[in-house]
Amino acid sequence: MIIREATIADIPALQLVRNSVHENALSDPALVPDAAYVTYLTQWGKGWLCETDNKVVGFAIADIEHNNVWALFLLPEYEKRGIGSMLHDTMLRWYFEQTDKPIWLSTAPGTRAAGFYRAAGWKETGTYGKGEIKFELERFPAI
């Protein structure tokens, strides 16, 4: 298993992961076109992916321009293996090396993702969009 920086060439695999999730699934995959990934990976932030057995099984993207987590997703069959935590920690180390501004994200209430972020130290700060929970993190503790 390796964690590495995501590139534009990885976008088809990232799309496959994003469109395979059971929680926080997109109502319409066309809402997140390849061009959005290009923008986040090359202009607004940086991304990382996890590969195992020559397969992309998860990814995370931080948006330094808007101070948020744009994505953190895993193939369902690779959940509960520590991959999400590794991607999360890699992404946040990079983010807080770039800025001291708090970072935020949103996710659906009642999901495993919401529990994951709470356990990782994120604080609920309200709602966002269509009833999602908004979380913020002031800084990422040294590991």
pLDDT for position 39? 96
pLDDT for position 10? 97
Mean pLDDT to the nearest integer, 111-122: 94
How is residue 67 written in tokens? Answer: 């101070």
130 φ, ψ to 5°?
-95, 65
Torsion of CA 104, 57, 114, 106, to 10 degrees: 30
For residue 90, pLDDT beyond 50:
yes
The rounded mean pLDDT for the chain is 93
The structural domains of the chain, ordered by start, are 2-99 (3.40.630.30)
Total-model pTM: 0.92
pLDDT in tens, 46-59: 999 999 989 999 99
pLDDT for position 141? 64
